Structure 1
Amino acid sequence: MGTGRLGVLLDQFDITREQAQVRLTGLGDEEYLWEPVPGSWSIRRREEAATPRAYGPGDWVLDKGAPDIPASEYAEVARQVAAGMTVAKIADDWSVSVQRVEEILADTAPPEPDRTALTTIAWRLGHLHSGFAARWEWTFGTRRQDPAQLVDFTPVAALALDRFWADVDRWRADVATVTDEQLDTVGFSQYPSGSDPDDPFVDVVSNTNLELIHHMAEIALLRDLWQARRPS
């Protein structure tokens, strides 16, 4: 087991990656694209895109809905304001209006549960892949390429997994080289679709681990549901 902040985070990442790779063994194309309910978000041919901001550079795009701040992020928004981040900056990070952020800050009632579309394994994997590829590009790469154009989504599960693990491992290898000073550097990652430019890099690494953990847990549940509907 590693020591220090970076060692702990890398150990957490490695264990999650190992468990996820085992859990994804045997993923086939039909299961990968299975929509658990009508209206699920997935990857689709560009001409069949069902959401207003579906993105990707190739023939297949990843569903993405209208911009908003999910209820699960309301507490983080309040913490960011308390720490000195402006409402305008938060609005820009989430591509929403200043009024929307002010509404969230003014609402003292417990937040309603998020109402988001159910997603396919293809969507979860593509969403994760897009995040890893973009964060690498805006941390260790040229810091120029459009985050929405970095992953060529595919309906072939095996190909998607090969591409995904390659970018995940590239991220892990470069994170392992950072110094304590870089971990504490605000803006070491300039990933533009979020608060990375305003956060110490150690927070970015921790949050990326959390993304991998929670989306892989969702993928595991989708695999369980797929198996449950096919008892043979």
Structure 2
Amino acid sequence: MAPPRLVPLLKQFDFARERLVRRLSGPDVDSGDGVRVPVTAMTDEEYLWEPVPGCWSVRPRARAHGPGPGPGPGASLLVGAGEWGRDGGRPHPYPPPITTIAWRLHHLGEMLALRADHVIGSHALTENEYAFPGDAAGGVAAFDSAAEAWRRALLAADNTALDRVGHSTYPDGSDPDVPFVEVVWWINQELLHHGAEIALLRDLYRARRG
């Protein structure tokens, strides 16, 4: 059984995860007042849609013939493993680029998968070893799989773990320096705010032809 103070954070995570998946895949989603609103599953075109010039996205590393099209404008590399990579590199440009649904979903999946590994896994997984698909259905499935891995990490935490500084050994954040419960809170706000951004991009894509 989850510690009492973890229960509301776990419920919030479950709500945000389910709401995002249903917003992307359908067949419907709660409008917020109990009414089920129909949702059309996201297409590959929408997944990779760049609403403005200079977007960061998820891109193939190679074409069938010749070099690949990535990284995108302002990016110095394609992050990740496999045939597709996420525009990235440090230092990040300022102001930050607008990012596609694919980029944001990759970011969320990577964040969840890596932190799950650094809590209950090998404690060694890096962003350059994380593979993410270039198609919409695959991207949603990869995100949901990473979310499930993170949920297992949460369920493995007791009160002692919640208070332990460095319980998550993920090195590219504040994880090694703060109690685990603060990492749990941070992950929830990342999922909530990126999920809202993705929902807005879906609205803009639907309305783009006026």
Normalised to the residue count of structure 1, the TM-score between the two structures is 0.75
- The one-letter code of the counterpart of 1:115 is P
Of 104, 108, 121 in structure 1, the residue corresponding to residue 101 of structure 2 is 121
> 5+ unaligned residues in a row in structure 2: which ranges?
26-40, 62-67
Which runs of structure 1 show a deviation greater than 6 angstroms over 4 or more consecutive aligned residues?
A: none
The percentage of counterpart residues that share the same residue type is 46
- The one-letter code of the counterpart of 2:87 is D
Measured in 2, the distance between the counterparts of 1:146 and 1:3 equals 29
Contact 1:182 1:201 in 2 (8 A): yes
Displacement of 1:228 = 0.7
Contact 1:53 1:66 in 2 (8 A): no
- The one-letter code of the counterpart of 1:56 is G
The DSSP-based 3-state class of the residue aligned with 1:133 is: helix
Measured in 2, the distance between the counterparts of 1:168 and 1:138 equals 14
Give the strand-richer structure, 1 or 2: 2
Of 134, 139, 147 in structure 2, the residue corresponding to residue 160 of structure 1 is 139
Give the helix-richer structure, 1 or 2: 1
Contact 2:56 2:100 in 1 (8 A): yes
Displacement of 1:230 = 3.7
- The one-letter code of the counterpart of 2:148 is D
Aligned length, in residue pairs: 185
Higher relative contact order (CA 8 A, sep 6+): 1
Change (3 A) 1:53 1:199: farther
The DSSP-based 3-state class of the residue aligned with 2:85 is: strand
Measured in 2, the distance between the counterparts of 1:159 and 1:18 equals 16
> 5+ unaligned residues in a row in structure 1: which ranges?
71-113
Of 101, 116, 139 in structure 2, the residue corresponding to residue 136 of structure 1 is 116
Greater shift, 5-14 or 58-67, is seen at: 58-67
Of 51, 58, 73 in structure 1, the residue corresponding to residue 82 of structure 2 is 58
Of 200, 209, 213 in structure 1, the residue corresponding to residue 179 of structure 2 is 200
Measured in 2, the distance between the counterparts of 1:145 and 1:154 equals 18
Measured in 2, the distance between the counterparts of 1:42 and 1:14 equals 26
The DSSP-based 3-state class of the residue aligned with 1:44 is: strand
Q: Does residue 218 of structure 1 match 2:197?
A: yes
Q: Which residue is equivalent to 1:7?
A: 7
Normalised to the residue count of structure 2, the TM-score between the two structures is 0.83
Q: Does residue 44 of structure 1 match 2:49?
A: no
RMSD of aligned Cα (Å): 1.8
Superposed counterparts of 1:146-185, under 5 Å: 146-150=126-130, 152-185=131-164
Q: Which residue is equivalent to 1:86?
A: none
